[in-house]
Each structure stands twice: as structure tokens, then as C-alpha cells.
């Protein structure tokens, strides 16, 4: 069974989770398929932007609880199985952040628990205006501790803690206000709006965006002074890029740049 399909149009790669019967849950197979596809995309300089979506009624319903219960009951699994599962899920989220290309989540239906974590881990997100988000594991006695890491880094702490402790769902409008998503659009416009968003980014100098994405996350973990020093060093290297020189010359000369990358 194919868990993820990948179609590339121009400089945009579109990954679609294709397990609609399980609401695209992050099963062992889904995590492996996403990881494999992302690692391949990372090595492809022709891809400048990635769109991640889900097939069927939902974007992603989080971890596969039936599979997790089977892992709990298997005599040779238990704690070792769960540690391996969460380690692989963590690696997937970090891979998205470390991917050279920006990743846009195209979200519809629901994004719950690790599915909400997936949205928070993507660099950008566009959602249908009737979409709902939640880190609702607490409702079944499982606090969403790993989803908490990504969520608490993109929205305010009190809002994140409320979602984590109450299991309350939020709609797309509130998700946008909190900073979990960038845009909320009608479901009928979701694919088009996301594609247009991706096209804007794909039209930029790919090498500059790659360097900028890496620096964005690196400086976020530093003190302000260290962040400025790091960002300044990144800008020096960016300025020395021949394509950057061409971009500035083109702007000053009122012409389109002839970028190589």
C-alpha cells in the first residue's frame, strides 16, 4: 500500500498522505514513507518548495492508536516500541525543519495530536476555514508531550497549555490568530491558494531561501546578541553569492534576474 505520493510540478513537490481510511494517521508505515520522501527531496536542488497534504476527510489524525495498542500488548515490544515510535516521529519533525526547502502544510478536516504537531512543524500552513486543530490526547489519558514541543514554539505558551490540558479544539480562524497557520481559506480554494503561495516562494532565489531557512531556525535558539552575530555572518556569505549579485544588479537595472540556482 502506498502511504505517500509525491508529484513535482516545476519547482514545487507535493507530498500527499494517502491513508484516508485511517485519517492519514502517523502509523509506522506513514512515518517511514514521509521520512523517505523528504530525504529524497532534500537532495533535489530543483525542488524549491514542498506542499504536504492529506487525502480523504482529514489532514492527519495523529498517531495510529490501534497500532500503538498492538505495540503495547506485544510481548517483545512495550516500552522499547514506544520509545522507537516517538524517536522516529521526532526525527520526522526535525527533518521537516532541517529540510533545505520550505514546507507548506495544506490542511483540511482535522489535524489532531501528532497531526497538529505536523502542522506546527511545517514552516508555513494554509488551512480550510472549516478545519479544526487539537492536541487532544489528554481526553484519552495521553498528554500530548511531543506535540507540545512544536506547538509551544509557534504559539503563545498559555494558549498552548490550554489546548494541551483541556483537549479543546480550535477552528482555523483561532489557529490563524494564534499563529499556528498563515492563512485560512474556503475549502474549495485550499489547493489553489496553497499552490499560489508555493509559487511565490519558488520564484525566489533558491539558494537564498535555503540559507535563510536554516539561519531562521538556528538564530531562534540563540541569545539576541549571538543571533545577530550569526545572522550577520550568514548575510555576508549570501552577499558573496554570484546569484545575489545578479539579483541586485537586475533590480537596479529594472530587469528580471538571470539566476542560475
Of the pLDDT bands very low, low, confident and very high (cuts 50, 70, 90), residue 79 is confident
**pLDDT score of 193:** 98
CATH of domain 206-252: 1.10.12.10
Strand partners, 54: 17
3-state SS class at 120: helix
CA contacts within 13 A on the Cβ side of 111: 33
What are the structural domain ranges in the chain? 4-202, 206-252
pLDDT in tens, 96-130: 999 999 999 999 999 999 999 999 999 999 999 99
Q: Do residues 131 and 111 make contact, with C-beta atoms less than 8 angstroms apart?
A: yes
pLDDT at 75 over 80: no
Of the pLDDT bands very low, low, confident and very high (cuts 50, 70, 90), residue 76 is low
pLDDT in tens, 220-245: 999 999 999 999 999 999 999 999 99
Alpha helices in the chain (DSSP H): 28-42, 65-73, 79-98, 114-121, 145-151, 157-166, 172-178, 190-202, 206-220, 224-239, 242-252
Q: Are strands 132-134 and 170-171 parallel, antiparallel or unpaired?
A: antiparallel
Yes or no: domain 4-202 corresponds to CATH 3.90.226.10: yes
Amino acid at each position: 500500500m502506498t502511504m505517500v505520493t509525491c508529484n513535482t510540478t516545476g519547482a514545487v513537490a507535493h507530498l500527499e498522505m494517502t491513508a484516508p481510511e485511517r485519517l492519514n494517521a502517523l502509523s509506522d508505515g506513514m512515518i517511514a514513507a514521509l521520512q523517505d520522501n523528504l530525504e529524497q527531496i532534500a537532495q533535489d536542488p530543483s525542488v524549491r518548495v514542498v506542499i504536504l497534504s492529506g487525502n480523504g476527510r482529514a489532514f492527519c489524525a495523529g498517531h495510529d492508536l490501534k497500532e500503538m495498542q498492538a505495540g503495547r500488548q506485544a510481548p517483545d515490544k512495550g516500552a522499547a516500541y514506544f520509545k522507537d515510535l516517538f524517536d522516529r516521529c521526532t526525527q520526522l519533525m526535525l527533518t521537516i525543519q532541517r529540510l533545505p526547502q520550505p514546507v507548506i502544510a495544506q490542511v483540511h478536516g482535522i489535524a489532531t495530536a501528532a497531526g497538529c504537531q505536523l502542522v506546527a512543524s511545517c514552516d508555513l500552513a494554509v488551512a480550510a476555514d472549516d478545519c479544526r486543530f487539537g492536541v487532544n490526547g489528554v481526553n484519552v489519558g495521553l498528554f500530548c508531550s511531543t506535540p507540545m514541543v512544536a506547538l509551544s514554539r509557534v504559539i503563545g505558551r498559555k494558549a498552548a497549555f490550554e489546548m494541551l490540558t483541556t483537549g479543546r479544539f480550535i477552528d482555523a480562524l483561532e489557529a490563524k490568530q494564534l499563529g499556528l497557520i498563515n492563512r485560512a481559506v474556503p475549502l474549495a480554494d485550499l489547493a489553489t491558494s496553497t499552490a499560489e503561495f508555493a509559487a511565490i516562494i519558488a520564484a525566489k532565489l533558491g539558494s537564498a531561501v535555503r540559507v535563510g531557512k536554516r539561519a531562521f531556525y538556528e538564530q531562534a535558539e540563540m541569545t539576541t546578541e549571538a543571533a545577530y552575530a550569526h545572522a550577520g555572518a550568514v548575510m555576508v556569505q549570501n552577499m558573496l553569492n554570484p546569484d545575489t549579485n545578479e539579483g541586485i544588479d537586475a533590480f537596479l537595472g529594472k530587469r528580471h534576474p538571470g539566476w542560475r540556482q
